[in-house]
Amino acid sequence: MGVRLGSADRFTIDELIVTCISRQAKNSDLMAQGIATPLVVAGYILAKLTHAPDLIFAVAIGGCITNSWAPLSISRAEEANLERPLYIFSFDEAAGTLMFTIQPKEFFRPAQVDPRGDFNNVVLGDYYAPKLRLPGCGGIADVTNYSPRVYLYVPRHSRAVFVERLDFVSGVGVLEEEERKELSILSPGPRYLVTNLGTFDFEGGRMRLLSYHPGVRVERIQKKTGFPLAMAPDLHETPPPSAEEVMLLREEIDPLGIRELERLSGGRRRAKLREIIEREAEGF
């Protein structure tokens, strides 16, 4: 979906997702950025430019902690992150001690999610004869053992993503107290999930609709989900981005529209990518 130009009260679904991500960041939070997550990066920067000016970022690209930001970029992300780092870490330190201790919030993008918030980034189909081998889970199987600040986002909500049973569990959801204890798991599971259709949590160990995005019917969300959803008592429409948020996103944070890549695939994605890279090369 392209950016619809026009008055600022109009917004794309990408922009709504970014805004939802932004709203989960509180001031002074430390926010972790994985790789290939432009919607997340845009969301964090949006928070910093609006309600959370003291936000700090722990970034994988560049391997550092920084409180500065630059517009989204493909070719220049690393140098932007490393321009004024507060702390450069090795992954020995990051994975071994630092991330446990400073406990960043992080948004992960799962390929599959089950009703209690377990998720999968490793493989689709049978593990030993996969339909599709995915890149792997990075540090998700680590973080979801201890972090109270696991957040999820799914740019393309579908029954292929939200399944009753995962092909492979690589991220831990909301477990029963007894199971958590037996497995020495400290994490309470994912705290929040935003998709292109609505926002959710896993309160009580079952995925629950908190809000539906403007123009999306609850029935459609349920239909696109491979298991029955719980409904929050105060179920409501997701508040749209403000005019200022949309303006910041389009003009300051992501003028090249890199955030749109997360909702594209195949040839359309490659074409968009080439367009962005060419514009970057021209110095945008």
Partner 1 sequence: MSDKVVTLSEAVGLVEPGDTIALGGMTLYRRPVAFARELIRSRVKDLTLLALTAGYESDLLVGAGSVRRVRTCYFGLEIFGLAPMFTKKARDLEIIEETEVSLALGLRAALSGIGFQPARAWQGTDLLKVRPDVKTISCPYTGERYVAFPAIKPDVAVIHVQESDCQGTAILKGNLALDREMALAAKQTIITTERLVEEVEGQIATFPSRVDAVVLAPKGAYPTSCYPYYRLASQEVLDYVDACSRGEFEEYLARFLDGGEVGER
Min CB(119)–partner 1 separation in Å: 10
Min CB(11)–partner 1 separation in Å: 23
- CA torsion through residues 113, 116, 117, 120, sign: negative
DSSP the chain: -PPPPS-TT---HHHHHHHHHHHTPPTT-EEEE-SS-HHHHHHHHHHHHTT-TT-EEEETTTTEEES------SSSHHHHHTSS-SEE--HHHIIIIIHHHH--EEEE--SEE-TTS-EE-SEEEETTEEEEE----TTHHHHTTT-S-EEEEESS--TTTB-SS-SS--B-----HHHHHHTT-------EEEESSEEEE-GGGS-EEEEEPTT--HHHHHHTSSSPPEEEEEEEEPPPPPHHHHHIIIIII-TT-GGGGGG--HHHHHHHHHHHHHHHHTT-
What is the per-residue binding string for partner 1 in 260-279, x denoting contact by CB under 8 A?
-x-----x-xx--xx--xx-
- Site for partner 1, residues 241 to 260, rule: CB under 8 A: 258
Min CB(95)–partner 1 separation in Å: 4
Residue closer to partner 1 (CB basis): 118 or 241: 118
230 binds partner 1 (CB under 8 A): no
- Site for partner 1, residues 54 to 93, rule: CB under 8 A: 54, 60-65, 74-76, 78-79, 82, 85-92
Choices 34-42, 151-159, 216-224, 240-248; region in contact with partner 1 by CB under 8 A: 34-42
Choices 182-190, 203-211, 236-244, 247-255; region in contact with partner 1 by CB under 8 A: 182-190
Residue closer to partner 1 (CB basis): 50 or 145: 145
Min CB(279)–partner 1 separation in Å: 11
* Size of interface with partner 1, in residues (CB under 8 A): 77
- When binding is defined by CB under 8 A, the residue of 10, 50, 138, 230 that contacts partner 1 is 138
- Site for partner 1, residues 92 to 111, rule: CB under 8 A: 92, 94-98, 100-102
Choices 24-32, 151-159, 190-198, 213-221; region in contact with partner 1 by CB under 8 A: 24-32
